[in-house]
Amino acid sequence: MSDLLNSKKPSLIGEWVRYFFSSKLACIGFAIAVLLLLGAVFAPWLTPQNPYDLLQLDILDSRLPPGSRNGMDTFTYWLGTDGQGRDLYSAILYGLRISLIVGLGSALIAGTVGTVIGVIAAYFGGRVDATIMRIIDLILSFPTILVAMMILAYLGKGIGNVILTLAILEWAYYARTARGQALSERQKEYVEAARNLDISNWRIMWRHILPNCLPPIIVIGTLQIARAITLEATLSFLGLGVPVTEPSLGLLISNGYQFMLSGQYWISFLPGVALLLTIMSLNLVGDRLRDTFNPRGQQ
């Protein structure tokens, strides 16, 4: 009897954590994502230069190779400099901060709006569901880059405008996922029991159905953050994203693209490596989360 009392059934969250970290690729992706996030958050304390402060830039130090000393001989450009004299190591960490802000901000807004709309569509069904789904199909039918370019051409450059544009384009993915999960939850006995107890529809949706829809939403959110960073980098590369004075990774790649054939590869190549690591790590984490929350994926 004492053995039965002392033995505790492992919690569901504990099982998820153990399964997630049982994959070496997931551990590598998670470690890289955490390191990049910490580097972006603590960039002012980890870098010798603020690349957004024009007073700290020296045009005479432009396009210096990795390992060069700055003009004042006070620190070393370990990753070289770009065409504006920015320390690439500093610019990459600051640019990573911009990219993560755009990715996380757009995912948060799109996830909130899309999840709410998806749950409403699934719960009420009928014309409400049909109307919302036709709107979602219409949004998903347009080329993402083309629509983003049109919106930003009207709104103009800026971090806030990029976040808003990506949120407008991404909420439909969350809505479709939330609707599918909510449709499954709506048929379960606890929802019928709540209706028989005369609990309001809004309370059933947000207190009972929504929490059970969160696991797939979290998975979609992780993958959509990586997608948002990719879209932002593409828009910045095309000159429609963030301002030139606050370059993200995409704009850093664009600034060095013209020097690739002249042998000054580091200006574009190193920010590209940072962007690749960011997207790869987030995709590895998202893929493992999908398997973790899916019982069939654990078999």
> Is 169 part of any domain?
yes
Strand intervals (E) in the chain:
68-69, 76-77
At 9-32, the pLDDT tens digits run 457 778 888 888 898 999 999 999
Of residues 61 and 295, the one with the higher pLDDT is: 61
Asked if residue 250 is part of any domain, the answer here is yes
pLDDT exceeds 90 at position 214: no
Q: Is residue 58 part of a domain?
A: no
Residue 8: per-residue pLDDT: 46
% of the chain residues with pLDDT over 70: 95
The answer as to whether 145 is a domain residue is yes
pLDDT of the residue at 243: 84
pLDDT higher than 50, residue 1 = no
According to the model, what pLDDT value does residue 72 have? 79
The rounded mean pLDDT for the chain is 86
Taking residues 69-91, report their average pLDDT: 87
Residue 7 or 52, more confident: 52
Judge whether residue 261 has pLDDT over 80: no
The pTM assigned to this predicted structure is: 0.87
Instruction: Note whether residue 233 is domain-resident.
Output: yes
Q: What is the pLDDT of residues 92-118, one digit of tens each?
A: 999 999 999 999 999 999 999 999 999
DSSP letters spanning 180-211 = HHHHHHHTSHHHHHHHHTT--HHHIIIIIIHH
Identify the CATH number of the domain in which residue 169 sits. 1.10.3720.10
Q: Per-residue confidence at 5, pLDDT binned at 50, 70, 90? A: very low
Mean pLDDT computed over 69-96 = 88
Q: Both ends of the chain: CA-CA distance in Å?
A: 32
Residue 162 near residue 152, CB atoms below 8 Å: yes
Domain assignment of residue 60, yes or no: no
Q: Which of 119, 130, 219 lies closest to 175, judged by CA? A: 119
Whether 12 is covered by a domain: the verdict is no
* Spatial distance between the Cα atoms of 66 and 256, rounded to a whole number of angstroms: 14
pLDDT confidence of residue 295 = 56
Span 240-255, pLDDT tens digits: 888 888 888 988 898 8
For the residues 267-280, what does the mean pLDDT come to?
A: 93
Host domain of residue 269: 24-46+80-293
SS3 22: coil
Q: How many domains does the chain have?
A: 1
Residue 6 pLDDT grade (very low, low, confident, very high; cuts 50, 70, 90): very low
Higher-pLDDT residue of 201 and 175 is 175
In a domain, 11, yes or no: no
